[in-house]
């Protein structure tokens, strides 16, 4: 299920089986400055479904237009390669962080 919220994030509902599933984090190669996780912190927060699985939710990021983002680098090699402690990227319009 997908629900758009204020055109800046989308909410997904998925089935999971365990606390390990709930603690999973993932990244999107097209948005290197972010990681994604489920909204719930404990399995008890997830509704139990009739099939013995649980319902969890997560948000993605949705950019309606190309967006410029400036962020601070924290890796010495990146700082040296970039010539400073910040980096600016342009993120194309689209949705980022869909769970693999």
How confident is the model over 7-53, as pLDDT tens digits?
Answer: 478 999 999 999 999 999 999 999 988 899 999 999 999 999 999 99
In sequence order, what DSSP letters do the residues of 21-77 get, joined into one string?
A: HHT-EEE-TT-TT-EEEBS-SSGGGSPBPTTS-EEEEEEEEEESS-EEEEEE---HH
6 pLDDT more than 50 = no
2 pLDDT more than 60 = no
Question: Among residues of the chain, what percentage have pLDDT more than 90?
Answer: 56
Domains of the chain: which residue ranges? 2-96
């Amino acid at each position: 299920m997908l629900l758009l919220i204020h055109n800046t994030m989308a909410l997904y509902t998925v089935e999971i089986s365990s606390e390990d599933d709930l603690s999973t984090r993932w990244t999107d190669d097209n948005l290197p400055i972010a990681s994604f996780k489920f909204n719930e912190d404990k399995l008890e927060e997830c509704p139990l479904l009739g099939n013995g699985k649980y319902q969890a939710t997560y948000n993605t990021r949705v950019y309606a237009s190309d967006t410029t983002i400036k962020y601070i680098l924290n890796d010495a090699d990146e700082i040296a390669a970039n010539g400073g402690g910040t980096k600016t990227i342009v993120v194309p319009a689209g949705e980022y962080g869909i769970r693999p």
